[in-house]
Amino acid sequence: MRKLLSGMILVVFIMLTGCAGLYSQQDFGPTSISGSNLQEVIQQNGPPDVVGGNDQYMVMTWYHTDGLQVLGLFSQANKKALGVAIDKNGNVVSQGSGKDGQSLTILGPMPAPVSIVETK
């Protein structure tokens, strides 16, 4: 009887919270940027998420995003920007990273305010 009651409570909890799984984990994007020129940077890190610049420099940015969710009870996500500046000759002149963005949700169906959706 206890097992049946526990199972029913779990099913009701899943229906109420919208939880579709017991555990999920995500890890997208490079954790560090490497390469000394434009060709190497793209070969070693893949295509960038954002490209910008002017007639002297090009700035390319990648985002590293990771997180996990457990039964809709706990969700956590981290997002960090990694970038390089490339001169008009195609050489890397600077690289750096932004401050980590973090989210934590307890008793929620998804990480808020960062909901991880892979669109590539």
pLDDT in tens, 59-98: 999 999 999 888 777 888 899 999 999 999 999 999 999 9
How confident is the model at residue 22, as a pLDDT? 75
How confident is the model at residue 74, as a pLDDT? 82
Token pair for 67: 């997180």
- Whether the pLDDT of residue 18 is over 70: the answer is no
Q: Which residues 6+ apart lie within 8 Å of 107 measured at CB?
A: 17, 72, 73
How confident is the model at residue 50, as a pLDDT? 96
The string of pLDDT tens digits covering residues 96-120 is 999 998 888 887 655 555 555 555 5
* Matching residue, tokens 């002017």: 54
Assessment of whether the complete model's pTM goes beyond 0.85: no
User: Which domains are delineated in the chain?
Assistant: 21-106 (3.30.1450)
Q: What beta strand segments (E) does 7-119 contain?
A: 23-28, 50-53, 57-70, 74-87, 92-97, 101-106
Average pLDDT (29-48) is 95
